[in-house]
Amino acid sequence: MTRTLAFTREQLRAPFTLVLLIAVPLLFVLSAAGTLHDFSSALGGSLAGDAAVALSAGWAAAFLSGALGFFEAASSRGADRRLALAGLGAAKVAISRIAASITLATVAAVTAVAALELRGGVAHPWHAVVAVIAFAWLYLAVGVLVGSVISDPLTGSLIVVFVFMLDVFSGPGMSANAAPWAISRKAADVLIAAGLGKSSSTGDWLALGVSTAVALAAAFFVFALSARPRS
Amino acid sequence: MRSEGVQEISVDPTLVGVTFPASSALDDAVGEPTDDESPVRASKGGVVLNVTGLSKRFRSGPPWRRRQVDVLDDLSLEVRAGELVGLVGENGSGKSTLMQAIVGLLGRDAGSIDRPARLGYCPQQPLLWDKLTVAEHFTLFATAYSMSEADGRAAAASMLDELQFARYENYRVERLSGGTRQKLNLALALMHDPQLLLLDEPYSGFDWETYLRFWEMSGRRRDQGMGILIVSHMLAERERLDRIYELRNGRAVLL
């Protein structure tokens, strides 16, 4: 707990982190939803107005969480490894680092949902909350995973952005045939349904939970692997 | 720094004056603390670091134009408790690579490294969190070293006092000068009273007074039985060292 708090404080002490955590989701949801609808129509997708608004919250939280996860893992890699080697162990450092990232990603997700409410609300708000948090955690995992193996800020952030763009433009709503491998596909399905006032099936909820858990487990595994002692 | 003890040790008894059972591991060579002795003082002379046949090569470039650089090649050296051993060599000779391999930051291609569980490592470039304070660093590392809260606080206070940077206790690392960062870097390696201390050019950025105090500290700990391996460049430092290894063509040559 002490370590997680310390790592969270570390991120929040960066001058613009807190500002970005609030400003990015807010601005994106308030300004980009209409554009998303136009994009969707141009690409042959079926994203209706309400669904586009809801989905914009998910993508805002995802983008911010991916960037946060990457920079948190990459920028403190040396010190984290030193702490692990000092006797704490790679697994404990990984848990603390990911827990700190989850805290911040959740703040981004909650801000995004609050922006949704500001924009007029969503038919199933609690479904939207869960789906947006899932978006945030999925991309947090992507960011941590990339940050665990690539320390160069430019290369790493470009990879996170590339994954995000590929996911956005091949996911449900934006494409007539959503790619089955799209990372946030289930989160998007649930969020679109919430925006349209429909309930998601148990299978969708289950798939959402499993995909998020698998992503976080993969991030933990790769982070711990990169921080382990070499022999 | 590894939590497990050392599995094997091969020590020439004539060198150290004691016989080490193979299963005792290096931790046992140091002995149990007594009322009037620090843990490291109890068995001055035991081997605390034994590197045998260590090889490390770096590969770079695509598979069809793979380049390979052998940095360490069948390198062997040892450090005993109560010794201050220098490691010298040209730039790029592999001194930092050797240190990182001993600590576990780098893997090795061949060879064995026997070292105690209680190890202190001061890297050449301070590995710290810019946004955390000096006090927060001590707290995190005290946890990593399995120290109680009280012991961690006492060790931190002692380090702050000894290296004379107590007034920066609540400063974030990003606001510290290079020399004060280096003090913290060193203090984190020392705070748990390690059996073996690895110092990779620990005094870069120190002013003259701190530099002298650093050698006093090192000498005092050496006298208490700590084994210290230090990367050193300056000729003037050689008289402070008990033994010196020079890295040449990937091997450690005793000067």
The answer to whether B7 contacts chain A (CB < 8 Å) is: no
Which of B102, B131, B147, B192 to probe by mutation at the A interface, max A CB count within 10 Å?
A: B131
For residue range A23-48, list pLDDT tens digits in order.
888 888 888 767 776 776 676 666 66
Cα end-to-end span (Å), chain B: 29
Other C-beta atoms within 10 Å of B107: how many?
11
Residue listed under structure tokens 């430019």: A154
CB contact under 8 A, B132 and A9: yes
The answer to whether B206 contacts chain A (CB < 8 Å) is: no
d(CA A93, nearest CA chain B) in Å:
10
d(CA A8, nearest CA chain B) in Å:
10
User: What's the pLDDT score for residue B114?
Assistant: 93
ipTM: 0.84
* Average pLDDT for B101-123: 93
* Average pLDDT for B98-114: 93
For residues A153 and B199, what is the distance between their CA atoms, to the nearest angstrom?
Answer: 29
One-letter amino acid at A119 equals: R
CB contact under 8 A, B140 and A82: no
For residue range A216-228, list pLDDT tens digits in order.
999 999 999 999 8
Which residue from B2, B140, B172 is facing A6, i.e. has the nearest CB?
B140
Pairwise pLDDT comparison (A48 vs B39), residue with the higher score: A48
User: What's the pLDDT score for residue A207?
Assistant: 92
The answer to whether B191 contacts chain A (CB < 8 Å) is: no
The answer for A 30-89 residues in CB contact with B (under 8 A) is 76, 78-79, 81-89
Among candidates A211, A204, A67, which has minimal Cα distance to A134?
A: A211
d(CA A17, nearest CA chain B) in Å:
12
Which residue from B103, B128, B145 is facing A79, i.e. has the nearest CB?
B128
For residues A137 and A73, what is the distance between their CA atoms, to the nearest angstrom?
Answer: 14
**Strand-pair partners of B248:** B251
Q: What is the DSSP string of A156-171?
A: HHHHHHHHHHHHHHHS
User: What's the pLDDT score for residue A193?
Assistant: 87
Other C-beta atoms within 10 Å of A65: how many?
33
Coil, strand, or helix at residue B50?
strand
Domain chopping of chain A, boundaries? 2-227
Positions of chain A with pLDDT under 70: 1, 33, 37, 40-41, 43-49, 173, 175-176, 178
Task: Give the DSSP H or E segment for B212.
Answer: helix B208-223
The H-assigned helical ranges of A43-124 are 49-75, 77-83, 90-118
Query: Rounded to an integer, what is the distance from CA B91 to the centroid of its chain?
Result: 19
For residues A176 and A22, what is the distance between their CA atoms, to the nearest angstrom?
Answer: 32
- Calculate the CA dihedral of residues B73, B3, B148, B182 and round it to 10 degrees: 20
CA distances from A11 to A89, A140, A226 (A): 22, 14, 21
Q: Which chain A residue has its CA at the smallest distance from B124's CA?
A: A78
CB contact under 8 A, A231 and B108: yes
Contact residues on chain A for B1, CB-CB shorter than 8 A: 85-87, 229
Which of A82, A92, A151, A228 to probe by mutation at the B interface, max B CB count within 10 Å?
A: A82
